[in-house]
Amino acid sequence: MDMQHVADKGLVLLGCGKMGSAMLAGWLERDLPPASVWVIDPKPSDWLKGTGVHLNADLPERPAIVLIAVKPQMMGEALPTIAAMGGGGTLFVSVAAGTPIEAFEAAFGSDSPIIRAMPNTPAAVGRGITAIVGNDEVSGDQMDLAEALLKAVGQVVRLEGEHQMDAVTGVSGSGPAYVFHMIECMAQAGEAEGLSPELAMQLAQATVAGAGALAEAADETPAQLRENVTSPNGTTQAGLEVLMDEDTGLPPLMKATVKAAADRSKELRRG
């Protein structure tokens, strides 16, 4: 099963907000024909209207794949529009946060192949990372297809089981917000040391973005990269002694942050 199969059978995108739009843009750039895509969205953007896809039109009976990208609170009214496609070989992929596979099995039938995916917001600029896991009905080819589609917005990793989704939520799902806050805090600290707000923010944004790009591109581990720029008794060491304090620094704070997000994910899942 490959992209040609998708082009032949059709792809249905349920919901086309920021995440749906980012994915659709990536697919179209990778030469998926607009005529092979059906989008259901109550408030289509001007960009979406200009793509040439089928918009809020009658759906194919047995598309290759249905990608569910509606907000969780919209799920109840959205799923009935595609429920009839269950059990017919159509692959369902959900990028809706918090909705477990069993909820889709209840809607489409347990004989339907269903993949749950957790992307994150850097997908909007093609730098996301998405974790995926499927039910027992999903074939190897279908996992490969979902991975190929989701690579349009960044990296893809496969989980051992759905139980890991809460931890993924705590690290990469919610994680961009932690980094955004770190940028805010670095800029405020720069202001406190005498920089203008504009300059402090520019320095903080570029430093975090550049360090992230270097960490991803380098052969060394982040720990080694940190050591490379830490001269004995230098400025970096002075800063790190505060940041790396095992009682008051970043290690216990980040552990507590990720745990709090993962715990809330578990609470929401239990309802």
CATH of the domain at 121: 3.40.50.720
Same domain, 254 and 235: yes
190 and 150 inside one domain: no
Residue 129 belongs to some domain of the structure: yes
**How far, in Å, CA of 69 to CA of 48, rounded?**
15
- 63 and 144 part of one domain: yes
- Please indicate, yes or no, whether residues 209 and 151 belong to a single structural domain of this protein: no
Last residue of a domain, one of 143, 162, 181: 162
User: b/e per residue, 55-78, with b = 16+ CB within 10 A?
Assistant: eeeebbeebbbbbbbbeeeebeeb
Confirm whether 91 is domain-assigned.
yes
Residue 157 lies in a domain: yes
Task: Tally the C-alpha atoms within 13 A of residue 68's C-alpha that lie toward its C-beta.
Answer: 34
The pLDDT of residue 271 is: 63
Same domain, 200 and 89: no
pTM for the whole structure: 0.92
Q: Is residue 16 marked as binding?
A: yes
Does residue 231 share a domain with residue 178?
Answer: yes
26 is in an annotated binding site: no
104 and 198 both lie in a single domain: no
Last residue of a domain, one of 142, 162, 182: 162
Provide the edge-to-edge strand list for the sheet that holds 37-40.
Answer: 54-55, 37-40, 11-14, 65-68, 91-94, 114-118, 128-134, 154-158
Do 83 and 196 belong together in one domain? no
Percent of the chain with pLDDT over 70: 99
Q: Which domain holds residue 206?
A: 173-270
214 alpha carbon, distance to own chain's centre: 21
The verdict on whether residue 19 carries a ligand-binding annotation is yes
pLDDT for the residue numbered 104? 94
The residue among 162, 197, 232 that closes a domain is 162
Please indicate, yes or no, whether residues 97 and 181 belong to a single structural domain of this protein: no
Is 197 known as a binding-site position?
no
9 among annotated binding-site residues: no
The reply to whether 167 falls in a domain is no
In a domain, 168, yes or no: no
Q: What is the C-alpha separation between 231 and 208, in angstroms, rounded?
A: 20
Tell me what pLDDT residue 1 has: 54
71 assigned to a ligand binding site = yes
Domain count, the chain: 2
Could you say which residues of the chain have pLDDT below 50? none
Q: For residues 24 and 44, is the Cβ–Cβ distance under 8 A?
A: no
72 annotated as ligand-binding: yes
Residues 36, 112, single domain; the answer is yes
